[in-house]
């Protein structure tokens, strides 16, 4: 049974969702969080320009490195990724993922099978960010910090009543299920106001990243010394890092 077949109260823990927003806005101003939403729009415009169907053929190694630099979980492995894959084969895989005719779940699975040199969590983040930021109206963001299928951890289960419905038979099927859950969160968040942190689905991205940042702060406070806690970025900076826009105010990313 998928999320569109059961009622919102059964899916979403409204009380937790609002408590996380309250804590996030205690650690960061609403204006700071909305600024992150605006930076996500700029990130998306960068992806849309570079990865338009008629532009991918012109994408060079430096351009792809610049895009990978904006993907939090992949950026440190971006050179290894390019060394492990034939560049033109990788571009073909991206073209098929973004603009192929088959259902998204099948294209997601095929992309995951074609990309070499990085583990499954990074492949998920790579595919998801390409889809979401190239066409945010159609595709959702799914990364391990949103929901890790192996551990069950992440921001999304913190505001849902369980994560059993998220697991699919394949990565692509799971991507679609996560998207269904995020549709519920986005719709309820808009009516309740806790995802009004950016245009379109970017507000939900910012909300979930701030939920995860609050969770990280809570865990680290309990487990680490005060000295280590002082090394943690403030919530706005941590949220920016998670979403790959922490250097937006400093110009384009460097390869």
In DSSP terms, 12 is beta-bridged to: 160
The string of pLDDT tens digits covering residues 20-72 is 989 998 989 989 999 999 999 999 999 999 999 999 999 999 999 999 999 99
What residues does each domain of the chain span?
Answer: 3-250
Please count the CA atoms within 13 angstroms of the CA of 77 that sit on its side-chain side: 18
SS3 label, residue 150: coil
The answer to whether 37 touches 92, Cβ cutoff 8 Å, is: no
Cα separation of 179 and 103, whole Å? 14
Cα separation of 253 and 246, whole Å? 10
In DSSP terms, 36 is beta-bridged to: none
The per-residue b/e assignment along 217-236, b for 16 or more CB within 10 angstroms, e otherwise, is beeeeeeeeeeeeeeeeebb
The string of pLDDT tens digits covering residues 162-184 is 766 889 999 999 999 999 999 98
Q: What is the mean pLDDT of the chain?
A: 87
73, pLDDT greater than 50: yes
**pLDDT value for 199:** 80
**pLDDT value for 47:** 98
**What is the number of helices (H) and of strands (E) in the chain?**
13, 0
The per-residue b/e assignment along 83-119, b for 16 or more CB within 10 angstroms, e otherwise, is eebeeeebbebbebbbeeeeebbebbbbbbebbeebe
DSSP 160: B
Cα separation of 240 and 220, whole Å? 18
For the ranges 11-15, 141-145, 192-196, the one whose mean pLDDT is highest: 141-145
Tally of CB atoms within 10 A around 141: 24
Q: Is the pTM of this model over 0.85?
A: yes
Tally of CB atoms within 10 A around 33: 24
């Amino acid at each position: 049974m998928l999320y569109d077949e059961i009622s919102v109260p059964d899916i979403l823990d409204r009380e937790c969702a609002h408590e996380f927003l309250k804590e996030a806005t205690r650690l960061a101003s609403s204006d700071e969080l909305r600024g992150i939403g605006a930076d996500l729009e700029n990130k998306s415009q960068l992806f849309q320009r570079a990865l338009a169907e008629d532009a991918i053929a012109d994408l060079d190694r430096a351009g792809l490195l610049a895009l990978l630099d904006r993907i939090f979980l992949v950026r440190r492995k971006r050179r290894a990724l390019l060394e492990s894959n034939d560049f033109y084969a990788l571009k073909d895989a991206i073209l098929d993922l973004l603009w192929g005719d088959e259902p998204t779940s099948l294209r997601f699975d095929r992309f995951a099978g074609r990309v070499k040199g990085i583990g499954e969590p990074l492949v998920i983040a790579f595919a998801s960010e390409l889809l979401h930021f190239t066409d945010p109206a159609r595709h959702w963001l799914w990364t391990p910090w949103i929901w890790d299928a192996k551990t069950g951890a992440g921001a999304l289960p913190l505001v849902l009543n369980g994560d059993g419905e998220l697991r699919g038979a394949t990565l692509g099927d799971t991507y679609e299920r996560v998207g269904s859950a995020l549709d519920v969160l986005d719709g309820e968040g808009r009516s309740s106001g806790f995802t009004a942190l950016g245009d379109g689905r970017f507000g939900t991205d910012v909300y979930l990243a701030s939920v995860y940042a609050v969770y990280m702060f809570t865990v680290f406070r309990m487990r680490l010394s005060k000295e280590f806690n002082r090394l943690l970025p403030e919530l706005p900076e941590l949220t920016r890092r998670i979403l790959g826009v922490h250097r937006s105010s400093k110009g384009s990313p460097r390869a």
